[in-house]
Amino acid sequence: MDNLERRTVLRGAALTALGLGTAAALPGTAAADAGHGHHAHGSRGRIPRGSISIQLYTLRDMLAADLDGTLAALAAIGYRKVEAAGTHGRTAAEFRAALDRAGLHATSGHVSVGDGWQRTLADARVLGHRYVVHPWANFATADEWRRFADRLTAAGAAARAAGLRFGYHNHAHEFERLPTGERPFDIITATDPRLVHLELDLYWAVTAGADPVALLREHGRRVLQLHVKDRAADGSFADVGTGTIDFRRIFTAACRSGVSEYIVERDTQPDPLRTARVGFEYLRTVRFPRR
């Protein structure tokens, strides 16, 4: 995907512009419930192993250097599903073959809406995607956001005709007020939920001051995927379960609304395989109230 480098730069710029150190995280701990073994009578929820995935953007440098070795390492951790972010210089068929060698299934992929959308959808089918998700957009005015929302609707209709589900992935700025007082998030969610689902990025929602539980309650089954990304006390990225986001509270709401994929991600890369391992183990072992 040609816009990955742009996405990296824009994300870094967004962090600076947002002043993450002053943004408030949701209260609570992200630590897994160490006493989950004492809840043996259905009072605790858990994430099905088949719903755990990882966004390959987390390991982008490793994948560029050693595609097969990195995919094999993810499989060894226990992952069976991944979300793609480009094909790292391979064709869709070549990348699918590498996934198959590792025993991984790319159920989802980040792709940009634009020219050549039918080809993008064809590649998504080759890769084995169920979901295709537009990863980033930003506009200065409500009218520009509304025109973009129309493009999302058209892209979602084409994806549905191709047997795919199409979604939008948020950052923090979608929750900020435009000059008209509107929020981009509300413009996006005014689209047809049958054509545009939501991939809710928990880190960016919390950074924006939004409550993911309230979003899950408001938008119900429209939120099909979560980016499970943690936030340190200073606002920087953290491995899942080591930061400040109260995932158990969120997962209770997500379980009710029918979220199908819990996708580990970290934008920065101090130790990508550690991030992958810590995130997988957290999602595998975390327990949370069903109600």
Instruction: Please give the structure tokens belonging to residue 45.
Output: 């929820």
The mean predicted confidence, pLDDT, of the chain is 88
32 pLDDT higher than 80: no
- Which residues on adjacent β-strands are paired with residue 262? 52, 226
Query: What ranges do the domains of the chain cover?
Result: 4-11+30-35+43-289
**Beta carbons within 8 Å of 259's beta carbon, 6+ residues apart:** 51, 216, 223, 224, 225, 226
State yes or no: pLDDT of 165 exceeds 80. Answer: yes
In three-state secondary structure terms, 260 is coil
Return the minimum-mean-pLDDT range out of 16-20, 84-88, 237-241.
16-20
pLDDT (average), residues 99-115: 97
**Dihedral angle computed from the Cα positions of residues 139, 142, 143 and 147, in that order, rounded to the nearest 10 degrees:** 60
pLDDT (tens digit per residue) in 61-94:
999 999 999 999 999 999 999 999 999 999 999 9
Give me the pLDDT at residue 42, please: 53
Instruction: Name the phi and psi angles at 110, rounded to 5.
Output: -85, 125
Instruction: Work out the average pLDDT over 101-106.
Output: 98
What's the average model confidence in pLDDT over 35-61?
Answer: 78
Which residues in the chain belong to E strands, given as ranges?
Answer: 44-45, 52-54, 81-84, 105-110, 131-134, 165-169, 197-201, 223-228, 230-231, 237-238, 261-264, 288-289
Q: What is the pTM of this model?
A: 0.86
Residue 209 tokens read as: 């001051």
Does residue 35 surpass a pLDDT of 80? no
Predicted confidence band of residue 17 (pLDDT cuts 50, 70, 90): very low
pLDDT at 220: 86
Answer whether 191's CB lies under 8 Å from 156's CB.
Answer: yes
Window from 40-44, 145-149, 224-228 with minimum mean pLDDT: 40-44
CA angle 12, 30, 218 (to 5 degrees): 80
pLDDT at 43: 72
For the segment 240-249, the average pLDDT, to the nearest whole number, is 98
- pLDDT reported for residue 8: 40
Element (H, E) at 79: none
Task: Say yes or no to pLDDT of 19 above 70.
Answer: no
Closest by Cα among 202, 199, 193 to 246: 202
The b-or-e profile of 17-55 (16+ CB within 10 A means b, else e) is ebebeeeebbeeebebbeeeeebeeeebbbbeeebbbbb
Residue 26 has pLDDT above 50, yes or no: no
Mean pLDDT score, 156-172: 98
Residue 272 pLDDT greater than 90, yes or no? yes
Task: Express each pLDDT in 196-232 by its tens digit.
Answer: 999 999 999 999 999 999 999 999 899 999 999 999 9
Q: Helix, strand, or coil here: 189?
A: coil
Give the homologous superfamily in CATH for domain 4-11+30-35+43-289.
Answer: Divalent-metal-dependent TIM barrel enzymes (3.20.20.150)
In which element (H, E) is residue 42 found?
A: none
